[in-house]
Amino acid sequence: VLPFPSQVVYNRVGKCGSRTVVLLLRILSERHQFNLVASDVHNKTRLTENEQVDLMKNISDIPKPFLYTRHVHFLNFSRFGMDQPVYINIIRDPINRFLSNYFFRRFGDWRGEQNHMIRTPGMKDEERYLDINACVLENYPECSNPRLFYIIPYFCGQHPKCREPGEWALERAKQNVNENFLLVGILEELEDVLLLLERLLPHFFMDVVNIYKSPDYRKIGNMTGTVKKQTPSLEALQALYQRMKYEYDFYYYIRDQFHLLKRKIGLKSQDHVLRSQELIFVSQPKLQEPFDEEDEDNDEHWLGQP
């Protein structure tokens, strides 16, 4: 038995900076000699029971120490008699995450204007150029529940009720975080997330902050912005906030826990508490937009009709 957590799963949430972290992990895995397995499956977060068992067996068979990462809702290894790995994850303000995904699906990122045509070739112009305010205020499916209920299922798990916006999924997600996740950070304080990962999992993350701050890495990071992002009207923001009540309840809970852990470790926190009356803060995200390979479960039809 290795004298440190030797099985780590990062079930990364879409559009929450995971591509940034995976780029760092690729450097770290070579430096620290651990097995990094980054799945190339980006659009299948929900699995049948047989698929869950097969995936968990495959993960458990990776030579230790390993870090496995994939966009997938929480998997309960112990339910099937397998050793439960240590989980880590990062989330961000729910409206900012939604907006990042909305425009990324339509217009891509730094790779150029035609990137979006490769990613979503079947998207009609009426959908691609759909005004964000119209999408929200006219209740298009893409801007309504259950589509907006996105972050919590990553922590709630594979149970069908985990995809239903409500108290049950929220509380189960919190319980799983408390029992199975070593750390859930917030993207708005990414450098502090990396500092804590370096403290808590040094075999995997030692020197990660220095790498993140290095000029060579910054060159990569500077090319990861979603393009053509627009700020919704205050009316649309308020509507989104109301529809994402449970997502915000979870986000605030995670942020409070994250700040508590920072204080315990001795890191000074940026504890400026933002609540529902401060919706306007979503208009200008303060950090460089990280790039994620996937956006949402893009095997499903999105726009539909209002």
Residues acting as catalytic residues? 71
Residues 119 and 117: their CA atoms lie apart, in Å, by 6
Q: In this structure, how many other beta carbons lie within 10 angstroms of the beta carbon of residue 299?
A: 8
Contacts of 93 (CB under 8 A, 6+ apart): 188, 251, 281, 282, 285
Torsion region of 157: left, alpha or beta (phi above 0 gives left; psi -120 to 50 gives alpha): left
Residue 126's Cβ-count burial label (10 Å; 0-12, 13-18, 19+) is exposed
Residue 63's Cβ-count burial label (10 Å; 0-12, 13-18, 19+) is exposed
Looking up tokens 């009709």, which residue turns up? 305
